[in-house]
Structure 1
């Protein structure tokens, strides 16, 4: 019998795999055997030694950090894994999105996101009482001198980068308005898909400068490797690139920071950037439903997309 804690790899008959960790491998594998009927091989790597002084919670955190590296390494080695978190692309069916948008429509959308989105007239109704707080926040947002430019940016991100925004609003993604966070720079608006912040507009409380960031897919934006990155830096010399550190995104994701509204607008008008952002948005949306519905502001969505005012 193998050790209690450690890591395991399930290999399936279709060539896919699943990577996991557990403080009780035997019990966890029994669960998988009851769930998956096409397991071909099980590989186990027990921990060499466990620290008796480490709490169960800290032990679990350590296992998850190492599991994360293993999943990222598998993707970088071109393995197809059925894991959801830490994956850049969800393999197989989406339990959530496929019921809202059939797979064929998802593929059609990715070919021409803005064209397909403009043709989709599906809207959702919201209860007035559910969003009273959001309405007050939106009134304060709309009173800002830069509100028109910010609304245009948010609207064009939704139109160009978010799958069927009118159909998936609230269920798959949400947008906050003046959220009560302590982050610096301070958030003015944040589009979150599932659990991941994908497009943020923020303000530096000291200088009053408004900027933000957008998350993109590396393989899409930098398809030609170093040459693509060099071309991007020439187009956007003031933008800053940083590796995305969100669990849902998986490896191969970059956050592009802009230090002004003008820089955000330049990113918005760059087809390569919006295409890469659309790829990221679809991949994350396939993983699950919105986890930030409490902070959703339908009034901001209506204004950004030039829809009838939300109740």
Structure 2
């Protein structure tokens, strides 16, 4: 069976995919574009979109060893973005534990940047004035930590993780105004420990909101 919230969103019953390397037999060619929900052994879920869900599943199987269930519904390609967001927002609002990061409610409030960093401080930062003091670290979001835990563990296992952390720290300090004060309201870092070819691996990504 599928949770009532998933049923209301039009998803069929779960498929048990424990240990399955492929789901091609479950979704015939020409019927693979849509929205999917992954189910994990700890009860958490993940919502995503795919033009070909069988190929996307193979990518997720490498990332999530505890993947045990999948529910999928067909959606036209032109509607994927809006339907994915609708499903994520609906399930999050209903209390479902999601491993998603994108489209989740991680930004606290809708404060203008001027209310966090004053225009005077912004000008001082732009002119590289000395003695600008940032706030101490203050973000303590257990939900965010939970959603990113699996990717972070994979990130830390990569051969150059420590070097990337050093470079990331330098980048944030030199390119973002008051990075500790503005963290999560105006910028976030996501772990993306995926190989993109034999000579390149994507370690992480910095996402910025409007800061002016």
TM-score where L is the length of structure 1: 0.32
More helix by share: 1
Larger of the two Rg values belongs to structure: 1
With CA pairs under 8 Å and 6+ residues apart, which has the higher RCO, 1 or 2? 1
TM-score where L is the length of structure 2: 0.44
